[in-house]
Amino acid sequence: MKVADAVAPGLVGLAVLGGWEALVRHYAVPAYVLPGPVAIWQALLADWPLLAGSLLVTLRIALLALALAVSLGGLLAVLFAQSRWVERAFFPYAVVLQVTPIVAIAPLILIWVDDVTVSLLICAWIVAFFPVLSNTVLGLNSADRNHVELFRLYGASRWQTLWLLRLPGALPFFLAGLRVAGGLALIGAVVAEFVAGAGGTGSGLAFRILEAGYQLKIPRMFAALALISAAGIAIFAVLSLVQHLLLRRWHESALKPEG
Amino acid sequence: MHFPPPAPSPPLAPTTLVALDGVGKRFASGTQALAGVDLRIGEGEFLAILGPSGCGKSTLLRLIAGLAEPSEGVIRRAAARQVGFVFQDPTLLPWSDAITNVRLPLRLAGFEREEQEARAAQALAAVGLAGFERAYPRELSGGMRMRVSLARALVTRPSLLLMDEPFAALDELTRHRLNDDLLGLAAGSGMTVVFVTHSVFESVYLASRIIVMAARPGRIAAEMPVDAPGENGAPRPPGFRTSAEYAGLCREATEALEWAMTQ
Ligand SMILES: Nc1ncnc2c1ncn2[C@@H]1O[C@H](COP(=O)(O)OP(=O)(O)OP(=O)(O)O)[C@@H](O)[C@H]1O
Ligand SMILES: [Mg+2]
């Protein structure tokens, strides 16, 4: 079943790549306009040490930002769930942070924060934390009424209700937010690198794209782009797996239809 | 300003577990769900609350449980009293397996893990679910889930078990089996049961006394003792369900309910 599911998209991908290569060759398109997949692959192999180093830099920022988003977003969500008042007072500011485009804030952060890595981290965190926060708040507030009464009947403390009822109930919501946040953390890291990279300070994949663009090494540019996509897909796949493993025993979203 | 201390309410008769005097409940929406309810729940009783949908049965049960406060009247409860509550739905935690669901009340009360496990396993066995400790709610049938819910209510060894139409969603055979099991469990433990239902047949089969409620506002319209073999929680003898005596009692309860609905 799993293998068959991968066959169709695999075939489509191969056909597109094949058609791309054929067109580039047939019309003899120069590599500095549009390189074919083979040229990109060759650039990827040739520049692998350089690109792999940059991939690690970008991935490190994205994953750290994700970890921060999860811990701070989750913590804030728990705080918000403690009182409607706190939620009403602070949630709008989280929204403001979310709706302001990161490209517009990034230069400011780069000016204010001396350490480039830290400022990149902050940018990526700003984009990634909102889905975690808003989903977790929603999850914490959607505990079943009867469950809440059950806990009250047996004299549960606030802490017990949070730990045994609200947090497990919020888990599916949190994981859905996490999956979105994973992609956003990468986007945030790349966007911030672009902004920072113009000053020539970064060394992540976005910086490599800019650099290759100046040097007209277009195949390398595409290779870096492909690596960013691959990293995004990998993050999404890992988080989906985590979601599946944590929910498969009990949550509707993770249940397989009965054969 | 000084208020006089509230007059001490007269002590409960030693065999009374809960006493309601002139109890009414008005919701914030303005609905008068209950009015003027006087009720004594005695030790070891199996009390059925019978009434049409919307007459305030659940509200009354929640007041007895202490899950809501009356807006008029007083409710007095015997001091040493452990309450078990079975909701209309099983209300199991979907992320916990059966035994973890059953030991929840003990966990909340701070018992040792080993005692929780032992007593939960025992309660599961008592409702006929030995061997299903590690099953998740979604892996169980509707009847089995209700049994888990019953086990969870029994695990604290309550002196008062409150049940809100617990078997209404089950098929008839399962319901009959659970009725018999419930009677057996109640007889063995000496606990008091208050059982809400809208089924005349279920109330007569189970109860030693039936309270018939009328709607708008919800109130007690009639009361009927059930004089049947094995009363006071003991299991009914085999064949009781098809006996002429059962049919006669059901007719009597039906008439009481019909009369209440014209009130
Ligand atoms: N939280 C609430 N807020 C406002 N009105 C309520 C609330 N709960 C119940 N009511 C109203 O009180 C009345 C009695 O409700 P209750 O749930 O006690 O009825 P019931 O006898 O249990 O009905 P059923 O057999 O359908 O469960 C109804 O008119 C209902 O609309
Ligand atoms: Mg009800």
Listed by start position, the domains of chain B span 42-54+160-263, 94-158
Tell me, what's the pLDDT at A115?
85
Tell me, what's the pLDDT at A258?
56
**Quick one: which H or E segment has residue A124?**
helix A116-141
Q: What residue in B sits closest to A158 (Cα-Cα)?
A: B108
Whether A47 is covered by a domain: the verdict is yes
Kindly state whether residues A25 and A46 are assigned to the same domain.
Answer: no
Kindly state whether residues A38 and A24 are assigned to the same domain.
Answer: no
Kindly state whether residues A83 and A126 are assigned to the same domain.
Answer: yes
Say whether B89 and A153 touch across the interface (CB within 8 A): no
Asked if residue B198 lies in contact with residue B210, where contact means CB atoms within 8 angstroms, the answer is: no
Q: Which pair of structure tokens corresponds to residue A235? A: 């993050």
Whether A79 is covered by a domain: the verdict is yes
- Protein residues within 5 Å, CB atom, of ion ligand 2: B 58
For residue B217, is the peptide bond before it cis, meaning its omega torsion is within 30 degrees of 0?
yes
Kindly state whether residues A38 and A23 are assigned to the same domain.
Answer: no
B66 CB within 8 Å of a chain A CB = yes
The predicted-structure confidence for B53-65, as pLDDT tens digits, reads as follows 888 899 999 999 9
> A152 vs chain B: nearest CA distance in angstroms?
8
Residue A93 has pLDDT above 80, yes or no: yes
Tell me, what's the pLDDT at A101?
86
∠A225-A227-A231 over CA atoms, to 5°?
Answer: 120
**Strands of the B209-214 sheet, one edge to the other:** B83-86, B160-164, B192-197, B46-50, B209-214, B219-225
Kindly state whether residues A26 and A41 are assigned to the same domain.
Answer: no
Tell me the three state secondary structure of residue B71.
Answer: coil
Instruction: Report the greatest alpha carbon distance in chain A.
Output: 77
The whole-number average pLDDT for the span A50-69 is 92
The whole-number average pLDDT for the span B86-90 is 90
Which value does ipTM take for this structure?
0.85
Tell me, what's the pLDDT at A259?
45
Whether A80 is covered by a domain: the verdict is yes
Tell me, what's the pLDDT at A257?
59
Residue B177 has pLDDT above 90, yes or no: no
Whether A254 is covered by a domain: the verdict is no
Tell me, what's the pLDDT at A131?
92
> What is the C-alpha separation between A239 and A126, in angstroms, rounded?
19
The whole-number average pLDDT for the span A163-187 is 93
Kindly state whether residues A40 and A145 are assigned to the same domain.
Answer: yes
**Chain A residues whose beta carbon lies within 8 Å of the beta carbon of residue B85:** 150, 153
Tell me the three state secondary structure of residue A32.
Answer: coil
Tell me, what's the pLDDT at B1?
44
Q: Which residues contact B80 (CB under 8 A, 6 or more apart)?
A: B159
* Residue % of chain A over a pLDDT of 90: 55
Kindly state whether residues A16 and A70 are assigned to the same domain.
Answer: no
The predicted-structure confidence for B202-245, as pLDDT tens digits, reads as follows 888 888 888 989 888 888 878 888 876 665 556 777 778 788 77
Q: Average pLDDT, whole number, for chain A?
A: 88
Tell me, what's the pLDDT at B234?
65
CA A153–ligand 1 middle distance (angstroms): 19
Nearest beta carbon to residue B83 from set A147, A153, A249: A153
Pure H helices in chain B: 57-65, 98-102, 104-108, 113-126, 142-154, 172-189, 200-206, 244-262
Nearest beta carbon to residue A149 from set B67, B105, B137: B67
> What is the C-alpha separation between A21 and A37, in angstroms, rounded?
6
CA distances, A137 to each of A181, A239, A253, B195 (Å): 15, 20, 19, 37
Exposed, middle or buried: residue A141 (CB in 10 Å: 0-12, 13-18, 19+)? middle
Q: Average pLDDT, whole number, for chain B?
A: 85
Say whether A153 and B85 touch across the interface (CB within 8 A): yes
Q: Which pair of structure tokens corresponds to residue B111? A: 């018992």
Say whether B67 and A171 touch across the interface (CB within 8 A): no
Kindly state whether residues A184 and A221 are assigned to the same domain.
Answer: yes
**Chain A residues whose beta carbon lies within 8 Å of the beta carbon of residue B161:** none
Asked if residue B70 lies in contact with residue B21, where contact means CB atoms within 8 angstroms, the answer is: no
The predicted-structure confidence for B4-27, as pLDDT tens digits, reads as follows 555 555 566 667 888 888 888 888
Please state the domain count of chain A. 2
Whether A259 is covered by a domain: the verdict is no
B107 CB within 8 Å of a chain A CB = yes
Q: Which residues contact B190 (CB under 8 A, 6 or more apart)?
A: B44, B233
Residue type, B207: A
The whole-number average pLDDT for the span A176-187 is 93
> What is the C-alpha separation between A241 and A229, in angstroms, rounded?
18
Whether A66 is covered by a domain: the verdict is yes
A112 CB within 8 Å of a chain B CB = no
Domain span including residue A44:
33-247
Kindly state whether residues A22 and A48 are assigned to the same domain.
Answer: no
Residue B144 has pLDDT above 50, yes or no: yes
Whether A58 is covered by a domain: the verdict is yes
Domain CATH for A37: 1.10.3720.10
Asked if residue B186 lies in contact with residue B126, where contact means CB atoms within 8 angstroms, the answer is: no
Nearest beta carbon to residue B105 from set A154, A165, A169: A154
Instruction: Report the greatest alpha carbon distance in chain B.
Output: 66
Q: Which positions 157-196 of A are in contact with B (Cβ < 8 Å)?
A: 160, 164-165, 168-169, 171
B2 CB within 8 Å of a chain A CB = no
Q: Is the sign of the CA dihedral A171, A173, A179, A182 positive or negative?
A: negative
**Quick one: which H or E segment has residue B17?**
strand B16-26
Kindly state whether residues A10 and A133 are assigned to the same domain.
Answer: no
Q: Just give the CATH number of B42-54+160-263.
A: 3.40.50.300
Kindly state whether residues A25 and A42 are assigned to the same domain.
Answer: no
Q: What count of CB pairs under 8 Å joins A to B?
A: 49
B109 CB within 8 Å of a chain A CB = yes
> What is the C-alpha separation between A237 and A223, in angstroms, rounded?
21
CA B59–ligand 1 middle distance (angstroms): 6
The whole-number average pLDDT for the span A11-30 is 92
Kindly state whether residues A58 and A106 are assigned to the same domain.
Answer: yes
pTM value is 0.84
Please tell me the number of the ligand nearest to residue B59's CA. 1
